[in-house]
Structure 1
């Protein structure tokens, strides 16, 4: 176009930005936006490139250019990052209307946006919707959720708990190996014997019921005294199942005597 001395207009630039976004080439899309700013095709504002992106996205719709799911996800990510959750939710609904139902990426981006902006009530609803759609949490979202639970930002006795996520894993992967114990035969280490998620779950239920029968109530403390092993993990999950605080105790601790343990 340059050789033919034809000057690209806003629509041309918009199509380029959308094409780059569809291919996941964010840097190239930003470079086109920078050229548009230099040419005066769009005006910068306090929110910078997000406002430019919003204007371009709106312009695409006016020009009849259909954004892809990737383009929607990029926009939703930017809106969530700026705390503009209402606009992000509106765009979430537009995806279905445009024939691009929200995918796993969309939902994970939204979850992170809700958590970082402390919209904890919305987290539960979105998790329920993800479950209904068969979507899974990615590693970064799961890590963020567990961190918030541990920090007390999310109620450990609610649906948003470590136990909830473990239960989801049991439902999805009941026959997958979860805990392995290495056999010790004739003084030598042998092969690992594995328990599946479902087998561990069944043991957890029994142990949890036993702990509760001792009078330990939700939000209570339960000490686990022993070496690292499958039984230790099972006991820990049993605590999580009933909203109990798991208190690890080891021989290596200086205060590991009967009197001090009772004081804890």
Structure 2
């Protein structure tokens, strides 16, 4: 009910009451029949106004209850938003960037040397690309069996992912550089990386324990081995053994 509606109700009730009061003031004398009829009409009119005002009050009460419910819901949403704001994970899954090789291929369609030139163009597009391991999502973390998870937290698991990505990045940056641009230490690492490659790792990205120790300060102990098993459970990597070396290949 708006303010103007309240003022209108008040005015109408006061007018009716004033009319009844005048009639009661004249009641000391005998009222004619038409005045008695008029008094009954005024009382009936006041009753109708009161019924109407009661409907308005009930309607306003329902609206107030609805607003209180909305207030509670809004407060809950606000608390949830604040909780999200205060607990934003350090690691958020990112959409993989896919190399679009369709355009370079189209450029050579219907030419005589299509077969020879297409691989060169694709190789140029992919040159320098280094694959990274995706961070573990909360549902994936919760799917890991408790006996395997132990006391490793969600953040600790993704810290290991970040460590592995740092090792991969450092390793393949060396592999992608021409040998003549490398210093003695990097050349020795480059040679070691090449010796660790096999026909099963061709075209894939992998690291070994020595790479983690070389490029990060992480200690590859029994606890870290357990984390690698968790990452294997989440299908982030697989193990390839050979020559006394365990290779952790990204999936």
TM-score range, shorter chain: under 0.3
Which one scores higher on RCO, CA 8 angstroms, separation ≥ 6?
2
- Which structure has more helix as a fraction of its residues? 2
Task: Please give the TM-score of this superposition, normalised by the length of structure 1.
Answer: 0.19
